[in-house]
Chains A and B, each alone.
Chain A
Amino acid sequence: MGYGFGDECRRRFYSTVSMENKACILITGASSGMGREMAVRFSAVCRVILNGRDTKRLEETRQLCTNPAEQLIWQYDLAKVEELESSFAAFMSAHQIRISYFVHCAGFMKTYPLKMVTAGLFQDTFNVNVISGALLIKSLMNRKMNDTALKSVVLISSNISNFGAKAFSVYGASKGAVDALMRSLAVELAPRVRVNSVLPGGVRTAMTEHMYQDQELINRMATAYPLGLGRVGDIYEAVNFLLSDKARWVTGQQFIVDGGRTINITG
C-alpha cells in the first residue's frame, strides 16, 4: 500500500547517511512470538532495540533482522521492576541512542482458576504486563536520557481487556490495567507523544502455545472467529499504523484486532 510507519522511517533513513540518525524503536518481548515478528519487520526501516530475558533467543531474533549488526540487545527480565529503570538508564547511556517509538510486547500469561490464584501470581503478571511498560515510558520521557525523541507508543493489550473468561481473572485484570494506563498517559503525554493499545485475539505464539495443544480448543476457536484464526503479522500491521504519522490524530484508543471474535454473539 506504500504508507505507514515504514515509509516515515524510510524517509529518515534515506535522508540521512549515518546510522545514528535512523529512528530507533524499543520492542519488549522480542525473544519470541509477537515481539520477534515486530522486531524483524521493523528492522527493515528502523534501528531496533530488542528486549527480552534470554540472550540466546534475542540473538536469534537479531540474526533474523535486517542488518543484524545495527540492531541492539537490552537483555533484562522485566519482572524485576525494582532495578528496571537503572538498568535501562545504563543501557541508554552506554549506547548514546534516542528512542522514538516503543512497543510493549512482553507478556506474562498464566490461565489459573481462582483457587490457584496467589498474590505472587498477581505480582508477576502485573510486573511484566503493566508496571514495566509504565516505567519504560517514564524513562523514555526523561529529557536527560532521551531528549524529546519519543513520538508514539503502542502497548499490546488483549481482547480479554473489555470482557471475561474462565481462568483469565489475573491476566484479564492486568490487560484492563494496561488499557487504563494507556488512556491516562495518552492524556498526560499529549500533544507530543501518542499512546494507544492493540488488543489481539488469540494468536498462536510461544506464550499461548500450550493452549493450542488441544485440538478441540482450536476447532472451537475457528468457529468463534468470523475471520478465522489470526497471525502475528496481523497484529504488526495494526501496530505499524498506530506508530505512524498516519495515526497522528489518534491517541488513547484501544485498537481491537481479533478477527471479529468479540463482536460475534452467534449463539
Chain B
Amino acid sequence: MKEQLAELLEVDEVKDSDVLKDFECWDSLTILSIIAWASENYGKTLLAKDVNEAKTVGGLLALLQ
C-alpha cells in the first residue's frame, strides 16, 4: 500500500509521519489520483476534503482501512 502511495507521490518511499502538503507534487491532480486509487483498489469513495483533512500519510492510510 505504501509503495503504491509513494509511486503516486513520486518519491521512493513514504513514512506515516510525512505531511501530505509537503510533497513536491502535492496538487489537485495528485489528490484526484489518490481518490481514483482508493476507489480502484480499496473500494473507498473519498472526497478531496477527506484527503486534505487526513494531513499525513498515516492519516490517509487510515481512511483506507
Contacts and interface: CB of A to CB of B under 8 A. Distances in A.
Interface of A: 110-116, 166-167, 210, 213-214
B29 A166 contact: yes
A113 B45 contact: no
A166 B33 CA distance: 11
Contact of B29 (A113, A210, A213): A113
B19 interface: no
Given A110-B36, A111-B36, A115-B33, 15 more contacts: A112-B32, A113-B29, A113-B30, A113-B32, A113-B33, A115-B29, A115-B30, A116-B32, A116-B33, A116-B36, A116-B40, A166-B29, A167-B29, A167-B32, A214-B48
Contact of B45 (A114, A166, A167, A210): A210
Contacts of B45: 210
Interface centre among A111, A113, A214 (most CB of B within 10 A): A113
Interface in B9-53: 28-30, 32-33, 36-37, 40, 45, 47-49
A113 B47 contact: no
Query: What are the nearest 3 A-B pairs in CB distance?
Result: A113-B29, A116-B36, A113-B33
Interface residues of B, number: 13
Contact of B36 (A113, A166, A213, A214): A113
B61 interface: no
B28 A166 contact: yes
B24 to A, nearest CB: 14
Nearest to A118: B40
A210 B32 CA distance: 12
B43 to A, nearest CB: 13
A116 B33 CA distance: 6
26 contacts: A110-B36, A111-B32, A111-B36, A112-B32, A112-B33, A113-B32, A113-B33, A113-B36, A114-B29, A115-B8, A115-B29, A115-B30, A115-B33, A116-B32, A116-B36, A116-B37, A116-B40, A166-B28, A166-B29, A166-B32, A167-B29, A167-B32, A210-B45, A213-B47, A214-B47, A214-B49
Contacts of A213: 47
A110 B30 CA distance: 15
B60 to A, nearest CB: 16
Given A166-B29, A167-B29, A112 B36 contact: yes
A142 B30 CA distance: 47
Contacts of A167: 29, 32
A213 B49 CA distance: 11
A113 B30 CA distance: 8
